[in-house]
């Protein structure tokens, strides 16, 4: 089991020490547009961690019908607020704003962009040049692999999902580490034909229990990034019970990538 909860708790010990050395109180602002259940779940988790780490938490929640101009004005206020050191826009955005996602992300001050979604920080990542901020979920996956001494060099890696905040940056980071990466997305034909050959399968597509036993090969490594609610229960993109005896390593949901994402957020907030 790739126990993200255990690893994140160990990392948080050092993070808490680093925070205690600062001469001012850190401030994190989260922008939540709409009322998507899994987004609210994640934001509530963030708030609890902030209370635990003595970080000021500012939640800006808006109706899903907020206009693009009004949202950017709110982000600009946070950019110019010296008590705010990091800004996070909770993804995914509502469909009404999805087409403007790049403009919204680029409105965040690069120095406060702790999830690495601004074009300035994304460019550094993709060019592998003076990287400062990395999308937290992608970074959390790498930290989890490093903790368990899983070397991806030479592995066939399949990533399910090509979002700008998880799938795409994670694929680039794995490529930079010498992995051979295949990205599957909504228009991929016969996804199973790709996953069955994966040494490492990372699912971040947001489809509950999509990956079944016959989708993976024996001793595959599985990282399940999915956060889905099915029958009021939190589940991943992978049918855990179906694959757990066939794979070599697997992350649980909850308790896998989720805690790592949050921990990386605070690690980059300190930066």
Instruction: Give tens-digit pLDDT for 56-100.
Output: 999 999 999 999 999 999 999 999 999 999 999 998 899 899 899
| Per-residue pLDDT tens digits of the chain, which is 271 residues long | 999 999 999 999 999 999 999 999 999 999 999 988 878 988 998 999 999 999 999 999 999 999 999 999 999 999 999 999 999 999 889 989 989 999 999 999 999 999 999 999 999 999 999 999 999 999 999 999 999 999 999 999 999 999 989 999 999 999 999 999 999 999 999 999 999 999 999 999 999 999 999 999 999 999 999 988 888 888 999 999 999 999 999 999 999 999 999 999 999 999 9
Break the chain into its structural domains and give their ranges. Answer: 23-109, 136-258
pLDDT of residue 227: 85
Name the burial class of residue 139, with classes exposed (0-12), middle (13-18) and buried (19+) by CB atoms within 10 angstroms of its CB.
Answer: buried
CATH 3.40.50.10860 fits 23-109, yes or no: yes
Buried b (16+ CB within 10 A) or exposed e, 153-182: eebbbbbbbbbebbbbbbbbbbeebebebb
Q: Which CATH architecture has domain 136-258?
A: 3-Layer(aba) Sandwich (3.40)
User: Are 38 and 67 within 8 A, CB to CB?
Assistant: no
The whole-number pLDDT of residue 38 equals: 78
H or E, element range at 105: helix 101-106
Phi-psi region of 260 (alpha: psi -120 to 50; beta: other; left: phi over 0): alpha
The pTM is what?
0.94
At 252 the three-state DSSP class reads: coil
Q: Compute the distance between CA of residue 191 and CA of residue 202 in angstroms, rounded to an integer.
A: 13
* Domains 23-109 and 136-258 agree in fold: yes
């Amino acid at each position: 089991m790739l126990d993200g909860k255990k690893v994140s708790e160990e990392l948080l010990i050092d993070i808490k020490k680093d925070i205690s050395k600062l001469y001012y109180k850190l401030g994190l602002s989260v922008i939540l547009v709409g009322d998507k259940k899994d987004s609210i779940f994640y934001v509530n988790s963030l708030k609890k961690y902030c209370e635990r780490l003595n970080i000021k938490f500012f939640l800006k929640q808006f109706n899903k019908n907020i206009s693009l101009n009004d949202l950017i004005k709110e982000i600009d206020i946070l950019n110019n607020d010296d008590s705010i050191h990091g800004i996070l826009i909770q993804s995914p955005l509502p469909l009404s704003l999805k087409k403007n996602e790049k403009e919204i992300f680029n409105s965040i001050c690069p120095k406060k962009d702790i999830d690495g979604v601004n074009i300035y920080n994304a460019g550094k990542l993709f060019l592998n040049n003076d990287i400062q901020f990395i999308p937290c979920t992608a970074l959390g996956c790498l930290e989890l692999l490093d903790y368990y001494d899983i070397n991806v060099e030479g592995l066939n890696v399949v990533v399910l999902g090509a979002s700008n905040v998880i799938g795409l940056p994670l694929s680039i980071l794995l490529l930079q580490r010498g992995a051979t990466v295949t990205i599957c997305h909504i228009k991929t034909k016969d996804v199973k034909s790709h996953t069955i050959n994966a040494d490492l399968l990372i699912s971040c597509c947001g489809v509950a229990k999509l990956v079944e036993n016959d989708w993976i090969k024996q001793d595959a490594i599985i990282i399940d990034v999915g956060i889905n609610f099915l029958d009021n229960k939190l589940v991943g993109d992978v049918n855990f019970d179906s694959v757990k005896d066939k794979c070599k390593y697997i992350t649980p949901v909850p308790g896998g990538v989720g805690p790592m994402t949050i921990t990386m957020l605070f690690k980059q907030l300190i930066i």
